[in-house]
Each structure stands twice: as C-alpha cells, then as structure tokens.
Amino acid sequence: MLLKKVASGLAIALVATATVFAGDVDLEGVKCVVASKPADAEKSADYKDGKVYFCCNGCAGKFAKNKEKFANSANRQLVATKQYEQKACPISGRELNPETGTEVSGVKVTFCCNGCKGKVEKAEGDAKVKLVFSEKAFAKAFAKAAEETE
C-alpha cells in the first residue's frame, strides 16, 4: 500500500516536472512540425534530447509514424525553441562569421562566409530549410544548448 502511494506521488511529480519544462519553452511564433499552424505546448514529443511541438494530436501521430519525413522541420524547431544552438556553419562545418547572419524560416542562422550564406539565400522554400536543417547539416552545425542552472 505504501509503495503504491509513493509510486503515485512520483508519477504526479514527474508529470508536474514535464509540464513545467513545457511551460519554459517559448512557443511564440513557433509553428507545428507537421502543419503550418501555431505549436501548442500541450502537444509534444521527445526528439533528439529535446521536445518538438505540434498544433494537434493528429500531427503528433503523423510525426510518430514517420519522423524522417519531418526531420528538417523538427530540427528547425529545436533551434527556434532554443533547445539547440548553432556552433558551426551548416554548409561547411567551419567557424561562424557573425557578419553572415540571416533568417531561414524564422530562425537566425550564421555561416562561415558569404558564399555559404549566398547558397542558402538563393534556394527557395523547403530547399532553403533542407540546406540548413537536414540531418547532415544539423549534425555538423548544431548542438544541444547548455541548460541553465539556478
């Protein structure tokens, strides 16, 4: 009996902690990984040591069935929500030049040179997002953001 009470208490604490974490992420202007609608903090899934957010449970289900299809958008959202931060150029993997900053699908991105920046700026729509947030580019340029300690 005591074990059940302790387990119940731990489960409630875990849910409360997850809810607090979800509340800490600023979703202002952040779009669902699947649809082009505002993301909801109550609709999320674990992804790459972070969380991605959806507009509804239907989109969460679509993501769960085919994460690879939505990887570029999910990677972009991890950066938009500041769970991951840029460490290198997504095109070359080289050191960043602060003078080459631009926005890609609402996310500030920096490159090593104007050549890489120009390559991305010439691309259109999903091709631009793919150049910066594909699995290969993401692995070379982004890393989990350091968690703040109080």
pLDDT tens digits, 50-93: 999 999 999 999 999 999 999 999 999 999 999 999 999 999 99
User: Which residues constitute the domain of residue 104?
Assistant: 40-144
Looking at the domain assignment, is residue 32 inside a domain?
Answer: no
Distances (CA, A) of 57 to 12, 42, 138: 22, 9, 26
Looking at the domain assignment, is residue 18 inside a domain?
Answer: no
Looking at the domain assignment, is residue 46 inside a domain?
Answer: yes
Q: For the purposes of burial, counting CB atoms within 10 Å of the CB of 141, is it exposed (0-12), middle (13-18) or buried (19 or more)?
A: buried
Looking at the domain assignment, is residue 53 inside a domain?
Answer: yes
Looking at the structure of the chain, the number of domains it has is 1
Percent of the chain scored above 90 by pLDDT?
Answer: 77
Which of 94, 90, 84, 95 shows the shortest CA–CA distance to 128?
A: 90
| Regions of the chain with pLDDT less than 70 | 1-23, 148-150
Looking at the domain assignment, is residue 34 inside a domain?
Answer: no
Q: What's the number of CA atoms in the CB half-sphere (13 Å) around residue 42?
A: 2
Residue 33: DSSP 8-state? S
Torsional class of 32: left (φ above 0), alpha (ψ -120 to 50), beta (otherwise): beta
Looking at the domain assignment, is residue 88 inside a domain?
Answer: yes
Looking at the domain assignment, is residue 69 inside a domain?
Answer: yes
Alpha carbon distance 34, 70 (integer Å): 7
Looking at the domain assignment, is residue 1 inside a domain?
Answer: no
Residue 13: per-residue pLDDT: 39
- Measure the N-to-C terminal CA separation of the chain; round to a whole number of Å: 36
